[in-house]
Amino acid sequence: MKAPLKFGVVGCGTVSLRGLIPHLAEKDLADRVQLTALCDPIADRVEHAAHAYGVPQAFTSYEEFLEKGGVDAITIASPIGVHFEQGMKALEAGKHIHFNKTMSVTTEESDKLIDLAAKKGLKIVSSPGEMLRPHNIAVKKMLADGVIGDVTWALAGAAFGSYHEDEPERDLGTGLTPIDPSWYFRKPGGGPLFDMTVYALHGMTGILGPARAVTALSGIRIPERRFAERVIPTEADDNTLMLLDFGDGLFAMVYGTAAGAVKNSLDFSGTYYGTRGKIEGLKLNGEYFDYPGRDIAVTAPDGGTQPGFGGNEWILPNIEGAHRQIGEQHVFADIMQLVDWVRDGKQSVATAEHARHVVEIVEAAYKSAATGQRQALRTIF
């Protein structure tokens, strides 16, 4: 029998406390994953998390974590602006990596990560694995089968209103340092495109294939945010609208905006308009369409009506038993893609090449907005 993969978590903030650490510490994983080390520069946070979940090692230094943590693979859940540097160091140290969403903020950095991983024989999975979702796989097939005729345009995106500054996990209680969300509003790595619109972009490009060019408008709409009685100035754009060209006259509009979310996760999945109808989220011409696992999704408290949450998380790979009651199930499903890939050689669809294409779209959108020029894209997956 293969030994369990020794796993480490980098960054013990909101997503790690809400989902990653509780999932990875679950007893039912014991024969596949052993959570052996946590890392975060805030000593009280990392020590508290290690104690709460029985993780044997807690590090405040990333370098020491890589050197002494004894892990085979890591999930990087630190601010997006440090992902590239941490990723390169981890690969140099021989670790497989799962990135919590965007693995870098430039295409060139993504190239470097992919090249180094290949050179070292290591694997990278970068969230979000939107093409693991059964309904997205079904939408791709319906479009290929011409169910809505010829697709002419599509719409997807993410809107957030108040943002990560409101997450309840940020107040950890007496004696523990609150989790500061300022980085979500700073460069590099802040703004909704790298953190939220990535869902829409992974889904849409997974369904339609790689985009060929981007044109965008982008700016700051809400100049200040507040956290713990403190003002956070917005430095990264919080309002971006982009047009994607998929070739052959097929276009899409994708947004990442500070406007309040009106349709929950619907636009993470997107709407596809064709000459004979439309697919909007989970509905084909206004009626729910079927896909593998929908019979299970509808038994969840949300009735399986949210494309990105609730019952539709339950039907992702490895979301069973206790894992259906722990948050951030899609992120755990992505982490397990790495675990299965490393242990069983089963390649994930959540590839670094797909993630690089999404990074290129975001980078090109900002460049287009700054220059007023359409940006051609070079990467495929």
Ligand X SMILES: NC(=O)c1ccc[n+]([C@@H]2O[C@H](COP(=O)([O-])OP(=O)(O)OC[C@H]3O[C@@H](n4cnc5c(N)ncnc54)[C@H](O)[C@@H]3O)[C@@H](O)[C@H]2O)c1
Q: Which residues bind ligand X (CB under 6 A)?
A: 10-16, 39-42, 45, 62, 77-80, 82, 100-101, 164, 179, 181, 195, 328, 331
Smallest gap from Cβ 131 to ligand X, in A, equals 17
Looking at the Cβ atoms of 61 and 285, the one nearer to ligand X is: 61
Residue owning tokens 């044997």: 56
Contacts of residue 307, Cβ cutoff 8 Å, sequence gap at least 6: 133, 135, 265, 266, 268, 269, 281, 282
Looking at the Cβ atoms of 84 and 246, the one nearer to ligand X is: 84
The 8-class DSSP code of residue 152 comes to: E
Smallest gap from Cβ 169 to ligand X, in A, equals 7
Q: For Cα atoms 52, 21, 258, give the angle at the middle one, nearest 5 degrees.
A: 120
Helix (H) or strand (E) holding 288: strand 287-288
Output the six-digit token pair for 49: 């998390």
Smallest gap from Cβ 59 to ligand X, in A, equals 9
Looking at the Cβ atoms of 45 and 357, the one nearer to ligand X is: 45
Smallest gap from Cβ 210 to ligand X, in A, equals 23
Smallest gap from Cβ 272 to ligand X, in A, equals 25
Note the Cα 378 to chain centre separation in Å: 22
- Residue 181, classed as helix, strand or coil, is coil
Smallest gap from Cβ 284 to ligand X, in A, equals 29
- Spatial contact of 128 and 333, defined as CB atoms under 8 Å apart: no
Smallest gap from Cβ 167 to ligand X, in A, equals 6
Looking at the Cβ atoms of 181 and 274, the one nearer to ligand X is: 181
Residues 145-166 as b/e (b if ≥16 CB within 10 A, e otherwise) read eebbeebebbbbbbbbeebbbe
Count of other CB atoms within 10 angstroms of residue 88:
17
- Residue 180, classed as helix, strand or coil, is coil
Smallest gap from Cβ 156 to ligand X, in A, equals 18
Residue owning tokens 């951030």: 328
Looking at the Cβ atoms of 35 and 39, the one nearer to ligand X is: 39
Looking at the Cβ atoms of 86 and 379, the one nearer to ligand X is: 86
In the bound state, the residue with its beta carbon closest to ligand X is 13
On the 0-12 / 13-18 / 19+ scale of CB atoms within 10 A, 250 is: middle
Looking at the Cβ atoms of 79 and 210, the one nearer to ligand X is: 79
Residue 223, preceding bond cis, omega within 30 degrees?
no
Looking at the Cβ atoms of 164 and 202, the one nearer to ligand X is: 164
Helix (H) or strand (E) holding 225: strand 224-227
CA–CA separation, 28 and 192 (whole Å):
34
CA–CA separation, 355 and 103 (whole Å):
7
Looking at the Cβ atoms of 171 and 295, the one nearer to ligand X is: 171
Query: DSSP labels for 340-352?
Result: HHHHH----SSBH
CA–CA separation, 207 and 269 (whole Å):
10
Smallest gap from Cβ 232 to ligand X, in A, equals 12
CA–CA separation, 257 and 238 (whole Å):
6
